[in-house]
Structure 1
Amino acid sequence: MDKQVKSKKRVTDHGEVFTNDSEVNAMLDLVKHEAERIDSRFLEPACGNGNFLTEVLKRKLTIVDSRYSKSQIEWERYSVIAVSSIYGVDILEDNAMECRDRLLGIYIEWYSKTFKKVNNDCIRSVQFLLNRNILWGDALDFTNPETKQPIIFSEWSAVNGSMLKRRDYMFKFLVEKTHQFSMFNDEGNAAAIDEPVKDFPLIHFLKLGEGDTNKL
């Protein structure tokens, strides 16, 4: 079981208490169907160091394994879609960083166990997605605690098999115009919100983080 408290000061200052494994699994079992959909989007607005999101990733990768482990390129494609559907925000920068590291570590370990040779382009794409999807921010005022810039999340949609479409939206609008934990509607589009902050051209799922896409 993961430690639930890092320090008394953090509890006092930020109310930081991590959810233990049994509670995480009990919560996810309530939405078992969604937790096991590869492309079902999950947002944790106080993600801590990732206790909830790591379990979501494990459940998604279990499904990817069961369907696509005989084809490495298919496994890579669907595992990248799984990672792209996981979002988190935390008010403490070290938590957001640790959450990204934990998710990346789980992904690499899972990938390495499934296939003998790891594709570094795939790992780079996953790392890029985590840098875009797991953010340091205050979910109550929708800004970065230091810069006070608005939190911007990316919507990732699979197009024509191996291509991804990225659209960036302000977190504030996503929360105000959609119901809790559903940032985008079932068709994969932002639901009844303002136009995206930025609209990106289609890109191959193995090209994320390459060249100009390094602009987070």
Structure 2
Amino acid sequence: MIIEGFQKPDFRTGSLGRFAVQINPETFVRNYAIEYVDKNAPGKEGSQVEYNYSQPQTMDVEFILDGTGVLPPDGFPAGNPVSAAVKLDVKQKIEELKTVVYNYVGEKHEPPYVQLTWGTEIFKCRLQSLNVTYKIFKPDGTPLRASVKCAFKEHIPDQENAAVTEASSPDLTHVRLVKEGESLPLMCYQIYGDEKLYLEVAMANGLTNFRELQTGQALFFPPLANTAK
């Protein structure tokens, strides 16, 4: 599992580094919740519920940091002879984790925006809580093992949220995420019915090279009336 921190909510700007979990968790918990409003009729038992909104997802992750030498440190596969000679500095790793998920950053002095990546699972979020339990110590009190519990709350950037909830009319503002193999002219044709509008869209997004789109990149497509000449 890789945990990355960013200063900006686009999850690309102001990288704070990457934290690689020493040993991947056996499980993680992803929570989904829906908020309803009770519609109680006077004089009647029971209730009717009306959908209000879907709450942001949350994810709970727990993992171990071990500096006794029993587990291999970051960067060394199990069984590598170097693993026996290199031991993890648990306190240092906790500080590295806090830099990525907890410490205040930026002009607003607020915690980072965090992206969790585990295989094909990607979760964009912010830290809700961090709990560290130290378990084994050297004679001088230096911790050799820690159990780390993190709770994260989903954070969807405005552009991505608009891309999910947008209507399909070309007269409305669109935000689309670039899919693999898509080009700007193709996306313009899909939205406006005219691939020749790609230059105007490139200017609206400040693109210097419209041929170098990245998969997952969010692009702003202005209303057709404001784009067409």
With the shorter chain as reference, the TM-score category is under 0.3
TM-score by length of 1: 0.25
Which of the two has greater strand per residue? Answer: 2
TM-score by length of 2: 0.24
